Amino acid sequence: MIIFKQVNKIYSGGTQALKDVSFEVADEELFCIVGPSGCGKSTVLKIIAGLEDPSSGEVRKPTNVGMVFQSGALLPWLNVFDNVALGLRAQNAGWRKIKEETQKYIEMVGLNSLEQKLPRELSGGQKQRVGIARALAINPQVLLLDEPFSALDTGTTEELHKDLIKIWQQTKKTIVMVSHSLEEAVTLAGRIMLMKAGQVDGIFEINLPYPRREQAHSFIEEVHKLRHAFFE
């Protein structure tokens, strides 16, 4: 459960990244924040992750958070297994638990045969899968994704969309994802928050069943609806 109430964020240089941002994310929801560069969506995510603090306003967020980065941010000297196990090891979990959990999530993202590989031996899509496994391995209360698929090609992205939905349905995690693509948000989210220039522009519900792109007409309808709402 995440609550933002009239949150403002002003950086030391004077830029106001967030202005009166208010929204709620319910448990087990897949919530997408969409907007152009500089709209403040990454700032919202960083505040949920605990990487930044709000300048004013009320924030309620869970303490145990997992995050997937646009750049992947895998440690280049660790192989897939050690990267995924990173958070568990930091918690000083027992080696048996570490082994079980790590292998479970590596399997969930479909990378079983690649446990010993180093990040430089992986494709962009595989790296993001490792990132997802790493974030899930610590059993977070919320999973944050910061434009995780922006740097990937369309085919890989579509694959990962499908897998992310599967993982979400399987683990029932609360997911908050930042994206610059309306299509991506409509493909994935139960609710979408549009942001512009640091402010919330609107929150919309998408009631289509999964998988969504298969139902071309309804999908395109929703995207158009949002586009209108966004650009008026």
Residue 226 to residue 104: CA distance in whole angstroms: 37
Does residue 86 belong to the site contacting other proteins (CB under 8 A)? Answer: yes
Q: What mask, x for binding other proteins by CB under 8 A, covers residues 17 to 56?
A: --------------------------------xxx-----
* Binding to other proteins, residues 109-148 (CB under 8 A): 118, 134, 138
| Residue in 75, 62, 32 with CA at minimum distance from that of residue 190 | 32
Does residue 210 belong to the site contacting other proteins (CB under 8 A)? Answer: no
68 vs 206 by CB, closer to other proteins: 68
Q: What mask, x for binding other proteins by CB under 8 A, covers residues 155 to 184?
A: ------------------------------
Q: Which of 6, 91, 112, 169 binds other proteins (CB under 8 A)?
A: 91
Taking a C-beta distance cutoff of 8 angstroms, is the pair 9, 46 a contact?
Answer: no
For 197: left if phi > 0, alpha if psi spans -120 to 50, otherwise beta; the answer is left
Half-sphere CA count of 6, side-chain side, radius 13 A: 2
Does residue 14 belong to the site contacting other proteins (CB under 8 A)? Answer: no
Residue 62 to residue 142: CA distance in whole angstroms: 7
Catalog residues that contact other proteins under the rule CB under 8 A: 49-51, 65-67, 69-71, 73, 75-77, 86-87, 90-91, 118, 134, 138
